[in-house]
Chain A
């Protein structure tokens, strides 16, 4: 079971991503195995202080293709099932009568061609429809870090929340405490798992896999400590919102065009 899943992902998924992603990116995705090459930046723990990572999502650009979800599954060797996912895409359909319909078939990884969901919309008057990609918000005040009984979940100095898979006891308190549904229990190792903004990539100066493959630039990643970084520019140019700000978690994924009612 363990082997077949892993093999499925590395072989099948590897082939998949070669087809899906634009040319030129394969090289950067392939060069992630840490044991093959020494880190180009030396003692990376000292690099912590130099960065403060941030993320922006442009909901006006997302086309719901789901490539980001697939890229994440492949890059991070996640279980193939959609209910164990580090990122997903939601479709919001707001009808003229005010009703809000939300769906995310198979976490959105194959787009939104689901017949059953689409049948619900037939004959209804649609006011607005848009896609909302979701991922871990790497909150500045993360409830998951607060509640972890053994401090397996922790925050790095450059602002990313990580899970120490060797410490996690699998109590799932963090999964309950996350207001965004960003966490799940890894079905193989029985420990908590979540999006890391591809920490292994960003620590080496690369972009997260989902940002890399997004064909419309709806996912924007950068360093708050760099004035020229794309996230800083987004915050300067657009009015942005974060998810569930009233919970005081201080999320660091900023949404351009965030419609009220998106939760």
Chain B
């Protein structure tokens, strides 16, 4: 028996697309953090994926507003958020924050890849040549002095980028955390939970894309890099687990008015998605796999990498389940606190359908693969520096 719902609660307001929205922005934030770990904290082991991390962040960032736009009742008015924002709205800032962050990531990516672009513009012929020439933006100066200056600029942009990434994704958490009408969302922990799970998902995504690309391009996997990624993932996963536990503990211990219905929802409607996918697969088992990977001897490095790949896939699924449990979970019980449901049906076709969601999710992956084809971020394919750049700096 579902109990009582207000009549207007019969419709699911935020569906699959709104699940994708925090999922995709989270992947952006996480991937960017990895590039920052290399540029700011100078973690050398992460060098092989540092440039891929930027392309990944950029690809997913470009797509991030799409699910939002697609879910609007009046998508043609979507840009009103830019022109006439209501400053008291926690949602109104998203457009600006997204735009600023896009600008930052684009500039940083361009600077990092500029020497490659200049090289390709000078050496590659054929139909791609105009694209490279366009991408240079007319700047062909790759002298050591300029590159050194740009390197410092990249470090600065990374330093600004980290709080921006936190802002972008913590903000998405706040959009939910600030809804006092919904006890499942309304917690000050929400932004920080979103943030940590974002970092977790971004690192996992990077591991998966990197391994997939190495396999496709038949290039050797840098197992040390994977080990480093795996350990960063493990560290953030443990923080994620602690926060998840803390949130549930305070819900269950405080036993506020809403707990009766929320506990029913977790046990009945979300048993599989929460207990199974988010906690067991996404947190517990992935921690176990990452832990086990660290016990593998150095000479068996490929096996360690395999374990980490399994963990990364589990994490990607687990974080998706987490977004699902927040967004959909928040609409599975009545705000009257007299009803719980689990019989939601998601349309396959249509503006809000599963097909649209899958297309939107596939789009950034395609974008990243496209970008890695145009400017390969791999160390092995780094073009030999142009003669002037080769001369040692005096």
Q: Decide yes or no: A150 and B72 within 8 Å by CB, A104-B4, A180-B335 being known contacts.
A: no
A134 to B9, CA, bound (A): 14
The segment from B78-86, B142-150, B318-326 that touches chain A is B78-86
Question: Which residues of B sit under 8 angstroms from A168, Cβ to Cβ?
Answer: 73-74, 77
Q: Are B13 and A147 in contact (CB under 8 A)?
A: no
21 A–B contacts, CB within 8 A, in A order: A83-B7, A88-B6, A88-B7, A100-B338, A147-B88, A147-B90, A148-B89, A167-B80, A169-B81, A170-B72, A171-B71, A173-B89, A173-B91, A176-B13, A176-B14, A177-B179, A177-B180, A181-B334, A183-B8, A185-B73, A263-B335
Interface assignment of A137: CB less than 8 Å from any CB of chain B:
no
The 0/1 profile, CB within 8 Å of A marked 1, for residues 94-132 of chain B is 100000000000000000000000000000000000000
Q: Which single residue of chain A is at the shortest CB-CB distance from B73?
A: A170
B189 to chain A, nearest CB (A): 19
A185 to B15, CA, bound (A): 14
Question: Which residues of A sit under 8 angstroms from B337, Cβ to Cβ?
Answer: 263
Interface assignment of A179: CB less than 8 Å from any CB of chain B:
yes
> B13 is contacted by which of A145, A149, A172 (Cβ under 8 Å)?
A172
Give chain B's interface residues, CB within 8 Å of chain A: 3-11, 13-14, 68, 71-75, 77-78, 80-81, 84-86, 88-92, 94, 175, 178-182, 330, 334-338
Question: Considering the complex, which residues of chain A in the window 174-202 have a beta carbon less than 8 Å from any beta carbon of chain B?
Answer: 175-185, 189-192
5 more contacts with CB within 8 A, not counting A169-B78, A247-B181, are A85-B7, A149-B81, A150-B77, A176-B330, A263-B336
A247 to B84, CA, bound (A): 28
Q: Decide yes or no: A82 and B73 within 8 Å by CB, A147-B90, A151-B84, A179-B335 being known contacts.
A: no
Q: Are B6 and A180 in contact (CB under 8 A)?
A: yes
> A143 is contacted by which of B10, B180, B336 (Cβ under 8 Å)?
B180
Question: Considering the complex, which residues of chain A in the window 129-179 have a beta carbon less than 8 Å from any beta carbon of chain B?
Answer: 134, 143, 145-151, 167-173, 175-179
A85 to chain B, nearest CB (A): 5
Interface assignment of A63: CB less than 8 Å from any CB of chain B:
no
A168 to B180, CA, bound (A): 22
Interface assignment of A224: CB less than 8 Å from any CB of chain B:
no
Of B91, B94, B182, chain A has the most CB atoms within 10 Å of the CB of: B91
A255 to chain B, nearest CB (A): 15
A72 to chain B, nearest CB (A): 12
Question: Which residues of B sit under 8 angstroms from A134, Cβ to Cβ?
Answer: 6
